[in-house]
Amino acid sequence: MKMSKTLLPLAMVSLLLSSYVKAADNEITIEQSGDNFDLNISQKGYSNVIKRWRSWDEGITGANNTFDIRQHKTHGSSSDQNVLELRQINGTGNTLKLAQGWQIGTNGNFGIDNSEYGDTFAHINITGDYNDVMMTQRTNSSSSGHQYWLHVEGDNNDIYTVQREGGSQYINLDIYNDGNDVDLRQTNAGDHYMSVILRGTQPTDISVIQNGWNNKSYSITNYCYTAGGCSISVTQGN
């Protein structure tokens, strides 16, 4: 089963995509241009995909938009991965609340999904200033992991990411430009891996927390060209 939606007027949004999708191999594609737009998607099943409409399009453009996107995996095989790929978001003042296996917290709400199988993949590219990007990936499985790739170009963005439970957890983050606040957390079982590159002429504050019983490793490359320096805090524990 495949679903393809092109989003244009705001009036069409709640009709077409404030929806609950359940099954295997669903695909939701998004193309949106404009401001003050609210999008709410809940996708349940396995081997499901949410992505931009076409790779050569501008993707999602506009200011002061809100995206609430949830994926819930109902199948236990690692080959049945749920994928969230928003490779190009352009604009300022946007809020993204993205949850694979749910649970945003503090307090963007959503909550716990108690029957989540994990094995999730997300890749987000965002260009612009004053954006809030919140991502949580979680599972109830002891062996299902997470991957999250995030590329940010712009100033004064807030990045909040949590990966918890299950198998191996991986975060790859590139940030270009200044004044960003970054909070990255990997918790509970599984190996934790993190690669972070920071570039800019003004400070970016980053906090890294890795808690669990298995291997933990991170790489942070910081190109900070200010006399005041940039703040980095790293915590590892059991």
pLDDT tens digits, one per residue of 182-199: 889 888 877 889 999 888
The closest of 78, 136, 142, 84 to 112, measured between CA atoms, is: 136
More confident residue, 31 or 5: 31
pLDDT tens-digit map of 24-81: 578 888 888 889 989 888 888 888 888 876 665 667 889 999 998 988 877 766 667 8
- Residues, the chain, total? 238
pLDDT of residue 174: 92
Asked whether the whole model's pTM tops 0.75, one would answer yes
Q: Which amino acid is at 161?
A: T
Pull the structure tokens for residue 193: 């891996």
108-167 confidence digits (pLDDT tens): 665 555 666 667 899 999 999 999 998 888 876 656 778 899 999 988 899 999 888 767
pLDDT, tens only, 207-238: 888 887 778 888 888 877 666 667 777 766 65
Contacts of 152-155 with CB under 8 Å at 24 or more apart are 152/126, 152/127, 152/176, 152/180, 153/126, 153/127, 153/128, 153/177, 154/92, 154/126, 154/127, 154/128, 154/129, 154/130, 154/180, 155/129, 155/130, 155/179, 155/180, 155/202
pLDDT digits (tens, 9 = 90+) for 151-168: 999 888 999 998 887 678
- Model pLDDT, residue 92: 93
